[in-house]
A = this chain, B = another copy of it.
Amino acid sequence: MTISAARHMRAAIMRQKQIIVDQLPVPEPGAGQVLVKTLACGICGSDLHMLKHGPRLAAQAAPGDRIMANMDFDHDVVMGHEFCAEVVAFGPDCQAAVKPGQKVCSLPVVLGPGWRRTVGYSNDYHGGYGEFMLLQEGLLLPVHDNVTADLAALTEPLAVGLHAVEMAQLGTGAESGTVPLVIGCGPVGLAVIVALKAKGVGPILAADFSPARRALAVAMGADEVIDPAANSPYENWHRAAILAPAPPPALGPIPERLKPAVIFECVGVPNVIDQIMAGAPQAARIVVVGVCMEADNFRPYGGITKELSLQFVLGYTPDEFAACLALIDSGKLDLSPLITGHVGLDDVAGAFGDLADPDHHCKIMIEPGRNS
């Protein structure tokens, strides 16, 4: 199929709070832009949240909110920001350094003079839930021939995990080495585990109610997994972090010596941050990676008495993104267990429902070219 032959494309569109498959015009690449064909695109938890909470959040969005700034929920949005695609055609003013047919990944960003759009979270730049997209030529990263498109599409969620780990400013060393605890082993928590493992930090503790998710956590490198219904993640953390006691002081309580704690919040629903604050040890750093889009509750007093910190994180840098694709390209990691399903466009709406069951699914890949 050539671009001139295809004036229309199919897409799974967010329209009036539903996912609807319909025809849309194939976009025309502008200056510095490349038309690509989507090979694989992951369904992100944020996409599920966006379908449910997006219209409310957009109505009250802060001026600096780069995600909501270009989302008008009265008009179509084609989501999908975790993708691998194939180069089809170049717009004006391109270098054409990669060839048509080349498999590529990219930050989901398109830039122009004075403006910026998030691919998949804007009305005018469709994401990977459609057959074709526009990307920024300067941001394209070629994918190794041996890497399948669905594995390459994991670059983006993996970069979210790596960024969270970088923001955690982990200590290293026998006594000062951070003992990380990952709360929630969905795609975000698993990406954090992969990044922690890649950086050689450990032991890595991870908690999830789902046996299937705990098995995935082990496959991705967790050293100890905890079912919070049976055991306290914080008691297990304590056992893993305890150091030999110092000589007791003449006066005062015997201070317990523990390695530093970093707890990754990878659930993203109300009350989880408060639960973590209640369980966290003294001076713990809590990195909030889960994207909770609802109003939430917490008790500051518990944070104060333990001098906790909360670091909210979002996205990744271009360097972190490139490092994750290089890690996947290297073939050293087997990320295939993370992908628990493949669907065509007609099954996207159904996949949104399926993802509510953590024991059956982790990451579902949309392949727009697939026959449903």
Give residues in A with beta carbon < 8 Å to B: 32, 57, 62, 64-67, 111-116, 136, 138, 167, 248, 250-254, 273, 278, 281-282, 288, 291-314
The 10 closest A-B pairs by CB, nearest first: A303-B312, A111-B251, A111-B252, A292-B300, A310-B310, A309-B311, A304-B312, A116-B252, A293-B301, A304-B314
Closest chain B residue, CB of each to CB of A272: B300
Say yes or no: A309-B312 contact (C-beta < 8 A), given A116-B252, A297-B297, A298-B296. yes
Q: Could you tell me if A305 and B252 are in contact, using CB atoms closer than 8 angstroms?
A: no
A310 to chain B, nearest CB (A): 4
Query: What is the copy number of this chain in the assembly?
Result: 2
Return chain B residues, CB-CB under 8 Å to A281. 64
Partner of A304 from the list B115, B253, B288, B294 (CB cut-off 8 Å) is B288
Closest chain B residue, CB of each to CB of A46: B304
Return chain B residues, CB-CB under 8 Å to A304. 288, 291-292, 312-314
Q: Which of A65, A281, A291, A296 has the most CB of B within 10 A?
A: A296
Partner of A32 from the list B251, B310, B311 (CB cut-off 8 Å) is B251
A102 to chain B, nearest CB (A): 22
Q: Could you tell me if A300 and B313 are in contact, using CB atoms closer than 8 angstroms?
A: no
A57 to chain B, nearest CB (A): 7
Q: Could you tell me if B292 and A312 are in contact, using CB atoms closer than 8 angstroms?
A: no
